[in-house]
Structure 1
């Protein structure tokens, strides 16, 4: 039997209340997932997805950059401020719109007001940083970029290249100096971009030298210092390379005069070519080996029909320094050769080259001390081990021991 439901005042109120609560629940759910429904906008930030609307307007502003899109973005930003005032992104929309209209003072005021609300909005910090740098306010610009990267790590990809360019300027390096410390989370990223993208490596080296203390250390830092040293040498910035090397972590000033490859019984570590640099090649090369009588030597080879450098090292000789060595063993080929060459890179005899006798020659006795003078008046020398494989089936090879760089007065 059907019963007719009587619509009483209490039942009517209950239905209306239920409908209202359903709408409220739906609006909150929509806001939580970023669905912007304009009908809910007057209900405030808890019921309307301002973030979704802000993102939409920001994308339109960047994509079009027209007067219409800037006006739309400004209207939206002011609407957000009316219903939810603590929104720095809405102030950013207003400021960016003013910038597009050429109203820079008003845009700057809007951005500064946004920063006072929150310093963690990346878009605001990016705008303020770029604005400061345009006006030559480097210290302030870097401060904004630092805040941006710390609050939004992904933003580093857009900011770090701009900061790397600052290294090229002496004034810029002075302002960057406070950020060159091991505790800086974006330092490695900055160095990687600088050593890869800057036209020359010299400004980055100068930045580290000007600190007058050990360069920052940390995980993966060798990914920066290795290519930095190679670039300095390949670009001919020898003086900077010589000054920087002792400041790099894991280096020893003894490496600058060491030719044996070991220091106090341990393999000399650091960065080529201030430590021995051997090519990764099947044509010619060398490796460290133990030699009879103790110590470390070089096992050098050159494939038949090839000519090249089996090893290179930069050294900083003192006055009257002489290179000493002995030939421990050898297996030569017809027309094969193995010689030292010392080329001056810094000093009064720049470009002067000194070469040794052929170590495959019968006149070079085994297990006897041999020597070669360094170019006179030279503060930095490139020492090359040159090998010609000659004619034969097997590689030409020679084992060199007793390597030392010392004044001639101590010759045996």
Structure 2
């Protein structure tokens, strides 16, 4: 009854300090009156006289002292509560608020750390406030130092921050600061923030962060030409396989690195693989190697480069049957000056063959041709 009906529990066992404390704490509500606040104070004092370890009573007295602006007394009471236990939510929240009021960023984050270590469920309340506050460079720097110690809530907060669509720029700054101190950011969080920046039109920042987490990435050509990365959480700058209930598509490890495989039943077709590009204007050459493709001319797979902003097609390269030219395919693509972001996509065309369509792409290279190349 102390949880569901604390007043009734106190009336039944009126000598138990913990029950009196629970009764007092239940009176502290958003619409509390001065009379009720005084009642809570009297009950809390009685609870502590009966049981000096009644944490709820100390915390409630501290809140009452805050309400009447007796900050010094409140700090003594809440320090006493902290000494008894670091699991009291009221004490933790007030300690954070008190540190913030004093402008003591380090202490505020220390209490954040304590609260989230002892009660992870407080993340629902604390993460949004922390994310908003971390827009301030000074707070963000202090947060990086706190997270550098790898508290248990590190990955949880990183994933939360990466999923927030407002102000992804400050999240990137936080991640870069953590990575500079040797803290590993989960791949899913990296992908989330890259995609958020890209979808928000912050293309250059999205690429800078991508290049920081994918050393060696080159902006002017397609990445991972032999499908060796095998990423668990690829971003839009990586190869993304496109599956649905009918079409199967996957990147598989091979003895030589990797290969992309696709298959679709008869009369079914659609996109199966894509990667976002940031190619400057000019003429490019798409070349690669396939295996296992054997279709009529009208059902051959093909690559297309489209403008990401409006879906305008910039070029198309058909992948011939693998028995032709030893499986090699190649063709030109033209990027116009009014299309800074493009999408390279492989389409599997619908086939009338009983077995549908299938095949593998073992290598694909998209780059500007060397001068004089045909």
* Residue of structure 1 equivalent to 2:45: 78
* Residue of structure 1 equivalent to 2:203: 238
CA distance in 1, matches of 2:226, 2:182: 23
* Residue of structure 2 equivalent to 1:313: 275
1:395 matched to 2:356? The reply is: yes
SS of the equivalent of 2:175 reads helix
**RMSD of the alignment, in Å?**
4.3
Counterparts in 2 of 1:79 and 1:296: CA distance versus 1, 3 Å: closer
1:259 matched to 2:224? The reply is: yes
1:195 matched to 2:162? The reply is: yes
* Residue of structure 2 equivalent to 1:111: 74
Give the counterpart of 1:141 among 92, 105, 108: 108
* Residue of structure 1 equivalent to 2:343: 382
* Residue of structure 1 equivalent to 2:238: 275
Segments of 5+ residues of structure 1 without an aligned counterpart are 1-32, 41-48
* Residue of structure 2 equivalent to 1:298: 260
CA distance in 2, matches of 1:55, 1:127: 18
Q: CA deviation at 1:278?
A: 0.7
SS of the equivalent of 2:249 reads strand
CA distance in 1, matches of 2:24, 2:79: 22
* Residue of structure 2 equivalent to 1:323: 286
Q: CA deviation at 1:74?
A: 0.8
SS of the equivalent of 1:72 reads helix
Counterparts in 2 of 1:267 and 1:222: CA distance versus 1, 3 Å: closer
Q: CA deviation at 1:154?
A: 4.2
Give the TM-score of the pair, scaled to structure 1.
Answer: 0.68
Give the counterpart of 1:342 among 305, 318, 343: 305
Aligned length: 356
Q: CA deviation at 1:208?
A: 1.0
Q: CA deviation at 1:373?
A: 4.4
SS of the equivalent of 2:317 reads coil
CA distance in 1, matches of 2:341, 2:148: 30
Q: CA deviation at 1:201?
A: 4.2
Counterparts in 2 of 1:114 and 1:55: CA distance versus 1, 3 Å: same
CA distance in 1, matches of 2:164, 2:233: 24
SS of the equivalent of 2:273 reads strand
Give the counterpart of 1:209 among 176, 182, 196: 176
Q: Which has the larger radius of gyration?
A: 1
Q: Indicate conservation of the 8 Å contact 1:163/1:190, yes or no.
A: no
* Residue of structure 2 equivalent to 1:12: none
- Which stretch has the larger CA shift, 305-314 or 333-342? 333-342
SS of the equivalent of 2:347 reads strand
Equivalent positions of 1:93-104 (< 5 A) are 93-99=60-66, 102-104=67-69
CA distance in 1, matches of 2:200, 2:269: 24
1:125 matched to 2:85? The reply is: no
* Residue of structure 1 equivalent to 2:6: none
Q: Indicate conservation of the 8 Å contact 1:91/1:110, yes or no.
A: no
Q: CA deviation at 1:127?
A: 1.6
* Residue of structure 2 equivalent to 1:18: none
* Residue of structure 2 equivalent to 1:69: 36
CA distance in 2, matches of 1:309, 1:214: 40
Q: Indicate conservation of the 8 Å contact 1:302/1:397, yes or no.
A: yes
Segments of 5+ residues of structure 2 without an aligned counterpart are 1-8
